[in-house]
Chain A
Amino acid sequence: MIELFYWEGCPSHPEAKALLEQVLAELGRDDQIVMTEVRSDEEAERLRFPGSPTIRVDGRDIDAMGANGRPSLTCRIYYLPDGRVSPVPSREQMEAALR
């Protein structure tokens, strides 16, 4: 199962979803992405949501390094392969998690 958790206060989730769909298509997969909106600090705690977007494949966060961040309604920080900061996971992270 592929889940994408997001918070509306952060504008990054449409870009993350589009990239995830693109990677899935390139890998020849037709999985549905289960979208879950996180609306409160309590939900963030309950869902162990370290920021938006958070993507899990079969329950496993695609970015292990950031998975244990403090649960919070915030934009999540990702690092691209070249070290730059990004508000969305890299294509490489998605591919690695889906292979």
Chain B
Amino acid sequence: MSIALGSKAPSFELPGADGTDHATSEYDDAKLLALVQYCNHCPYVLAWEGRLMALARDYADLGVRVVAINSNDVARYPEDSFERMKERAAELGFPFDYLFDASQSLARALGAERTPEVFLFDTERRLRYHGAIDDSRDEDRANRSYLREAIDALLAGEEPPVTETESVGCTVKWKS
């Protein structure tokens, strides 16, 4: 069960694919913070990847930070190992931090269930949008860009037009 709208963002300090640790305080200056449950191996993540990268670039100068988090059990899903995260981030030049949540504590704190799954927090770090990036993993069929709409609204001081949608994707791979 994911956290409710209005909930505070959980704090974290996690290693990043860029080789440095990243703590919640690092993002204090961001107007908005989008935490995205993520991984390497899921075709849904890969299908949305280009759109998420474009979004991160488009809003970087507007004070929006995107942070991807991989919490999957790497013993059963070695494609999601930290080393593979580093390779993937370097290969594609991710315009967002890509953090490794090996203990799965951040995924549990968020109540994340799928990859990809977005948790968008406002300036006060209250959850304002939760769910999918947009309404189709097939870019050609996507009509509603939920995350962009929520970001635009919050930056304009308005309510997001849609606050919750179903996240369609792979399950978070919990340790047994």
Contact = CB atoms under 8 A, between A and B. Distances in A.
Interface in B126-152: 137-139
Contacts of A11: 168-169
Interface string B28-59: 00000000000001111011000000000000
B7 interface: no
Contacts of A10: 170-171
Given A72-B77, A74-B77, A85 B43 contact: yes
Contact of A86 (B43, B76, B168, B171): B43
Contacts of B47: 84-87
A75 B169 CA distance: 9
A74 to B, nearest CB: 6
A11 to B, nearest CB: 6
Interface string B48-80: 000000000000000000000000000011000
B141 to A, nearest CB: 12
A10 B169 CA distance: 7
Given A10-B170, A87-B137, A75 B77 contact: no
Interface residues of B, number: 15
Contacts of B41: 74, 77
A87 B44 contact: yes
Nearest to A51: B43
Contacts of B137: 86-87
10 contacts: A9-B170, A9-B171, A72-B76, A74-B41, A74-B77, A77-B41, A85-B46, A87-B43, A87-B47, A87-B137
B34 to A, nearest CB: 22
Given A85-B47, A86-B43, A87-B137, 13 more contacts: A9-B170, A9-B171, A10-B170, A41-B76, A72-B76, A72-B77, A74-B42, A74-B170, A75-B44, A78-B43, A84-B139, A85-B43, A87-B44
A85 B168 CA distance: 15
Contacts of A9: 170-171
What are the nearest 10 A-B pairs in CB distance? A87-B43, A85-B46, A77-B43, A75-B170, A9-B171, A85-B47, A75-B43, A85-B43, A75-B42, A87-B44
A76 interface: yes
Contacts of A72: 76-77
Contacts of A74: 41-42, 77, 170
Interface in A21-49: 41
Interface in B1-47: 41-44, 46-47
B113 to A, nearest CB: 11
A75 B43 CA distance: 7
